[in-house]
Amino acid sequence: MRLSSGTKLLLPFLAVMTVFFMAPMCIALAYSFMQANPLGGVKPAFSLAGYLRFFYSPDLDGNMHWDMRYLQIIYSSTKMAVLATFICVLIGFPMAWFMATRPAQQRDFWMILVTIPFWTNLLIRTYAWILILRGNGIVNTGLEKAGLIDAPLDLLYTPFAVGLGLVYSYLPFMILPIYSSLERMDWRLVEAAQDLYATRLRILWHVVLPAAMPGLIGGVILVFIPTVGSFLAADLLGGGKQMMLGNLIENQFGMGRNWPFGAAISAILITFVMIGLILIARRGQGLKGVVG
């Protein structure tokens, strides 16, 4: 059977998705149903122990009891991801609006400013926040010299530091999709609404938000997915005190040497994220109908 030209153009994309996305997911899913090897890796024998451990833990006698620890990690990771995504929306939408309303010759400059963080490795940027937030860092030193505090504030290794690191790391992923939508917006609609004596709030709600909704939904997805599974900010800025799903998975494939459990957590995380994406998409479509 001969392939159409359109199908041929999709072949490289399908190959990349198969090799770098579908294959690792299938391997992780297969590992989640195997037995753990005490020395690391898996034993090729069917087992549901990885999934059972997520909900139950054995006592000294080997009896299984309901355990809420990992469910609490899901809750804390979700709460942190939702909060970081919400803050990114609050900061990213006005910034994207500002960029989209600048003259064409100035937009490239603001685009460069937004993308500058990507010029440096995320690990280095996260370490930089340690220097900023620590007891003798820039923030505490500045506040002390200004006479606003008498003793250094405990900013590092706190939920605040983790949230700050997440927002800083993924804010550009919120700004750029919204800016892309607003840049293509027909601004004559805003002028028409002003001619009809619409208030700024009504213009924002009925004209700007419907136009920005595709970028807003895309930004929420691009921020929420990596933050809910992030481990770098929680590990470095949280000092290991703020456990998130990404840290739990990394620990199981590393020091824990329980690959089936780590793979099971990964499968649960993927399922959880997919459900969240469906809810976000449906919510976004409903909101688009309301604001439109």
Q: CB-based contacts of 73: which residues, under 8 Å, 6+ apart?
A: 243, 244, 245, 248
Which residues are registered as beta bridge partners of 58?
64
User: What is the Cα–Cα distance from 140 to 132, expressed in whole angstroms?
Assistant: 8
Question: What class does CATH assign to 79-291?
Answer: mainly alpha
Asked if 198 and 206 touch (Cβ cutoff 8 Å), the reply is yes
Over the range 255-272, which residues count as b (16 or more CB within 10 Å of their CB) and which as e? eebbbbbbbbbbbbbeeb
Per-residue pLDDT reduced to its tens digit, 122-165: 888 888 999 999 888 888 899 888 888 888 888 888 889 999 99
pLDDT at 4: 67
pLDDT in tens, the chain (292 residues): 566 666 777 788 788 888 888 888 888 889 999 998 887 788 888 988 888 888 887 776 667 778 888 888 888 888 999 999 999 999 999 999 999 888 888 888 999 999 888 888 888 888 899 999 988 888 889 988 888 888 888 888 888 999 999 999 999 999 999 999 988 888 788 888 887 777 888 888 888 888 888 899 889 888 988 898 888 888 888 887 778 888 888 888 888 888 899 899 888 888 877 787 777 667 655 555 544 5
User: What is the Cα–Cα distance from 215 to 209, expressed in whole angstroms?
Assistant: 10
Per-residue pLDDT reduced to its tens digit, 102-115: 888 888 899 999 98
Which residue matches tokens 């997520």? 54
pTM listed for this prediction: 0.83
pLDDT at 290: 47
| Of residues 20, 25, 84, the one with CA closest to residue 228 | 84
